[in-house]
Structure formats: C-alpha cells, structure tokens
Amino acid sequence: MKKFLSLLMALAMTLSLAACGSTEDTTTDTDDTQGNAAEETATGSGVEDGVLTIAMECAYAPYNWAQSDDSNGAVPISNVPGSYANGYDVMMAKKICEANGWELEVVQSDWDSLVPGVQTGTFDAVIAGQSMTAERSEQVDFAGPYYYASIVCVTKTDSPYANAQGISDLSGGTCTAQIATIWYDTCLPQIEGAQIQTAAETAPAMLMALETDTVDFICTDMPTAMGAVAAYPDMKILDFTDSEDNFQVDEGDINIGVSVKKGNTELKDAIDSVLSTMTADDFNTMMDEAISVQPMTEG
C-alpha cells in the first residue's frame, strides 16, 4: 500500500511539474509573439517607443535656443532640467510629431556630437540646422530639406567692409565662422587674402567675436544672419546672392535637412511625408515666426 501511495505521489509531482513547464513555455511564446509584434510596429515607423528623440545645440538661434520657461511653445530639454528649447527646429519637430502621432523629446547636444549621436542611436534624429553636405551624407541619411538657406556674411554697420558688393571686397579682413561647418571649411577659404581666425565653437561665440570686434566679418547662412541682426542692431548682412562674385557651393551644402541613422528608411520616409507637403514659402513663414520670438541677446 505504501509503495502504491508513493507511486501516486510521484506521478502527481511529475504531472504538476509538466503542467508548470507547459504554462511557462506558453507564456514565453506569447511574450515573444507580442514582442515581435511590437518590434514590427516600431520598425514600421522608425521610432521604437512612440517618442521621437531629437538633438540640437539649443544655442543656434533662430534654428534653436534655450529659454527658462515654456513661453511661445517651447518644450522641455530632457537632459537640462528647468530649461526649454524653442526655435525653428522645435516648431518643425512638433509638426512632424503631430503628423505621425509621436511624442517629442528634445536633447541638448554639442555640435560635434550630433552626428555621432545619431550613428550610435543615442537619439533618433538631429533637427539642428544641419546642411546636407556630401560628407555628412556618408555618415547619416537625410530627410528633407526642411529649409533652403543661402550663405551670407555679417559685419558691423560701421565696418570698412559694410559696403562690400562681393567676396573679393572682403580681401584682407579678419573673419571666422562656426567650427565644422561649410561656412568655415569651404566658404571663408574662397575669399582671397582673408585672415581666417580660429573657428568659433558655437554660433553665439561666432556672433560675439564680431560684436566685440575680434573679427571684421563672419560667414553663416541667411537665417542665422537674420537672427543676428535682430539680436544685434549694429550688425549688417552682406548678401552676394545676385552677384557673380559670390561663394561657390553645391546646393546640398546649403539646404538644411533632418539627419537619421544610416538605413533607417522608415523614419526618413515618415519625416519626408510631412516635409514634402510644405513649400519654401511655408518654411520662410515659420522661420520668420521663429525670428520674431527669439531672445534679443544670446548667451
């Protein structure tokens, strides 16, 4: 009898363990199925969690800047508590997110770390006034353009170069531009006899070099120049667009795009689906709005 009871107990335990194993396997299969479905959905949009995480300098008005409150539609900077991001890039990011049903997260990142951050997946995209250069296009994919910018110079209204009619008139002047930009690497060297100074780490530093007379002029794009003269009334834009004596650049070097990780065609296409519905006039209207609400001075 004892042997019979022992046999029954052993059988019961075996069945119990088998039942537990079956439940665990079923749960795992279900979790895997759900996980695969979620992954498939994420892959379809190019955004894994429904939150588009973008990076920008937050110091490049009127494209982007930081402020202390959420006025004029500013959004929190996730890695800088108490600070909010605003500007043309933020306005565009909000439009893209709204159209795709995403939430928006803005991360502050230094200029030189923007491309590496996209490559490593630290953030989904960069919306930071980046020109779509051939060199960058080897490292990231670009959606857009989301702005068509021309290259100009900025000087002081009382500068000897204030009446320059072409880049040859800038010969002999001291100048700078922001580091790792088409302005510094390609444009300034085209000015024969220019005394090119060390590149500025940021756009505000570039403007301050001009404001403090450290240089005679700077090279930048039109939106940055427009933002500069709005913040510094003693500055003047030198636009040589209609002159043959102008900078020689490829169209891709001056068009502004949204960079995403190489191969993330889903995200690129989702962003392009929004940008393709907008015209140059739409871009200019939005840029004018950004300039109208930018801080009057930059830190």
Q: What is the DSSP letter of 282?
A: H
Lowest average pLDDT, out of 35-39, 165-169, 265-269, 271-275, goes to 35-39
Q: What is the DSSP letter of 155?
A: E
Q: What is the DSSP letter of 69?
A: S
Q: Tell me: the pLDDT tens digits for 276-291?
A: 999 999 999 999 999 9
Domain ranges of the chain: 51-149+253-293, 151-240
Residues 108, 85: contact at Cβ < 8 Å? yes
CATH superfamily of the domain spanning 151-240: Periplasmic binding protein-like II (3.40.190.10)
Contacts of 292 (CB under 8 A, 6+ apart): none
For residue 33, what are its two tokens?
A: 């199925």
Residue tagged 């889903």 (tokens): 266
Q: What whole-number distance in Å separates Cα of residue 196 and Cα of residue 174? A: 6
Q: Tell me: the pLDDT tens digits for 15-27?
A: 343 333 333 343 4
Instruction: Please determine whether the domains at 51-149+253-293 and 151-240 fall in the same fold group of CATH.
Output: yes
**Domain 51-149+253-293 in this protein, CATH class:** alpha beta
